[in-house]
Structure 1
């Protein structure tokens, strides 16, 4: 079979889907499948001029809204680039972004389309304070899910929690399949080490949705309780300066290192002890599985896909979102007891190897793809 993996971000972009799909391609090609990757280059902006028509709602009533207009222009750009670059037919198109999915179905209506919805752009914008819940931008972006449901041949997502979230916007949530992300174990190499001072690490985009303000307040509380630690923050984003200022105000200047963007943080993580990220929402939270495969103890907020990865007190600790005191208490447990955090990290590693292996993803995707396997014509009889 010949499969096109249609992404939005290029494969070199860090993050769950962009970093995972090339490994999916590699595994399928070893099995003898044909598979290609496609994405929109950053240089392609403002090129598309074509007409856009949605089947389930009238997008033109949102025209004039900055965020909606940008989204629609990106759709046109993706369509322009796709029409320019793709000249062959595929047996299946597997899209990993709503724009990629809808463009592919517009241009190749006869090709079976599978869509994996990895995250919610509208919820991220609400949590980051960019749009109002229930406002025009929110209504527009939420309406895209119903459009995907009608146009795609198969909808998938990455967690039971996120399927429940999508259920409020589609007619048949029970028809949405769940395939959690998977990771190539060879990328992750746990390293035996003995840090005299516990080393905490978080890896994320520096935006309000990730709850790093909560983390800094929790670390200030942890320090007041008399515990030594170092917090390493890998990632960049619009609130970096704000977080650095907050760290100084909380007296954490000597306890935190801001690294900025890093392409392969999994090469760095094994040297640390505890991974912590108190996100306000996560569809899956790939970085938790990655940290587990690096043999780190996990501490996260009890939201979305994080709660499906962590069994509280068994392979990590869950805390309520927006609660720096509870987060400080959880961190205190793992900072003060090396054996306890070792046990959590061991069980996290075991669970991640079992539940989030790339082999499992390949098996599940192969089943999905084979459901649309083209019927080969029979040899003529004589």
Structure 2
């Protein structure tokens, strides 16, 4: 079978899709299936001129809104780039972004289309203070789900919680299949180590939705209680200056290291002790599974896909979002009791190897691909 994996970002960008899809391609190619990756470069801006229409709603009521106009122009650019670069047909297309899915179906309506919805752009914009819930932008972005349902031959998503989230915006949510992300365990090499001072680490884009302001306030509470630690923050984003100023105000600057963007943080993570990320929302939260495979103890918020990965008190600790005191208490448990921390980390590693293996994703995707485009299976 000849398959195109249609991404939005190039696969060298941070995030769950980029950390998984190239390894899926490698495994399928070894099985004898042809699989290619496609994405739009960042340099392509304002090239597309196509008239845009949608089948399930009238785009004209949204015209003139800056955020929506930018989204539509990005769609036009993706159409322009795809038309120029793709010169062959495929047995099926598997898209990992709504713009990629809609562009592929517009240009190649005869090719079967599978769409994996990995996250919610509108929810990220709301949490980052860019739009308001129920506003025009929110209405437009949630209308895209019904358009995807109408256009795609099969819709997948990464967690039960995210399927629940999109259910109000589509007609048949039961038809959405959940395939959690999977990870090639060969990328992760746990290292036996003893840190004199507990090392905390978080990896994310530095945006309000990730709740790092809550983390810094929790760390200030830890310091006030006399606990020694170092917090390592890997990632970059628009609120980095704001976070650095907050760290100074909370007298934490000497306890925190800001690294900026790192392409392969999994090479760095095994040297630390506790992974913590108090996200305000998370469709899946790939970085938790990655941290677990590095044998780190996990602390996260009881939201979305994080709550599906962490069984509280068994393989990590869950706290409510927006609660620095609860987060401080959870981190204090991790810092104060090395045996407790070790046991949680081992349980997290065991679950991640079993539930979030790349081979499980390959098997599930293979079954979906053969349902959409039946053919004789390739010989491994």
Give the TM interval when normalised to the shorter protein. over 0.9
Specify the alignment match of 2:144 in structure 1.
144
1:18 is paired with a residue whose SS is coil
2:200 is paired with a residue whose SS is strand
1:166 Cα deviation from its structure 2 partner: 0.5
Specify the alignment match of 1:380 in structure 2.
none
Specify the alignment match of 2:170 in structure 1.
170
1:59 Cα deviation from its structure 2 partner: 1.1
2:20 is paired with a residue whose SS is helix
Specify the alignment match of 1:274 in structure 2.
274
Stretches of structure 1 lacking an aligned partner (at least 5 in a row): 377-382
Asked if structure 1 preserves the Cα contact closer than 8 Å seen for 2:2 and 2:91, the reply is yes
Specify the alignment match of 2:100 in structure 1.
100
Specify the alignment match of 1:21 in structure 2.
21
Asked if structure 1 preserves the Cα contact closer than 8 Å seen for 2:4 and 2:36, the reply is yes
Stretches of structure 2 lacking an aligned partner (at least 5 in a row): none
- Superposed CA RMSD in Å reads 0.8
Specify the alignment match of 2:197 in structure 1.
197
In the TM superposition, 1:228-307 aligns within 5 A as 228-307=228-307
Specify the alignment match of 2:179 in structure 1.
179
1:17 is paired with a residue whose SS is coil
Deviations 1:145-190 (A, max 9, x none): 0000011000000000000000011111111000000000011000
Asked if structure 1 preserves the Cα contact closer than 8 Å seen for 2:153 and 2:372, the reply is no
Asked if structure 1 preserves the Cα contact closer than 8 Å seen for 2:296 and 2:345, the reply is yes
1:253 Cα deviation from its structure 2 partner: 1.1
Specify the alignment match of 2:312 in structure 1.
312
1:53 Cα deviation from its structure 2 partner: 1.2
1:373 Cα deviation from its structure 2 partner: 2.4
Q: Distance in 2 between matches of 1:218 and 1:372?
A: 48
Q: Distance in 1 between matches of 2:77 and 2:244?
A: 36
1:371 is paired with a residue whose SS is helix
Q: Distance in 1 between matches of 2:62 and 2:254?
A: 48
Q: Distance in 1 between matches of 2:252 and 2:36?
A: 47
Deviations 1:50-108 (A, max 9, x none): 11110000112111111100000000000011111111110010000000000101111
User: Does 1:86 find its partner at 2:117?
Assistant: no
TM-score by length of 1: 0.98
Q: Distance in 2 between matches of 1:322 and 1:167?
A: 25
Asked if structure 2 preserves the Cα contact closer than 8 Å seen for 1:316 and 1:348, the reply is yes
Q: Distance in 1 between matches of 2:182 and 2:373?
A: 23
Asked if structure 2 preserves the Cα contact closer than 8 Å seen for 1:158 and 1:283, the reply is yes
Specify the alignment match of 2:129 in structure 1.
129
TM-score by length of 2: 0.98
1:273 Cα deviation from its structure 2 partner: 0.1
Q: Which 4+ stretches in 1 moved above 6 angstroms?
A: none
Aligned residues: 376
Asked if structure 2 preserves the Cα contact closer than 8 Å seen for 1:247 and 1:253, the reply is yes
1:94 is paired with a residue whose SS is strand
Asked if structure 2 preserves the Cα contact closer than 8 Å seen for 1:91 and 1:374, the reply is no
Q: Distance in 2 between matches of 1:198 and 1:212?
A: 19
Asked if structure 2 preserves the Cα contact closer than 8 Å seen for 1:4 and 1:94, the reply is yes
Q: Distance in 2 between matches of 1:219 and 1:375?
A: 55
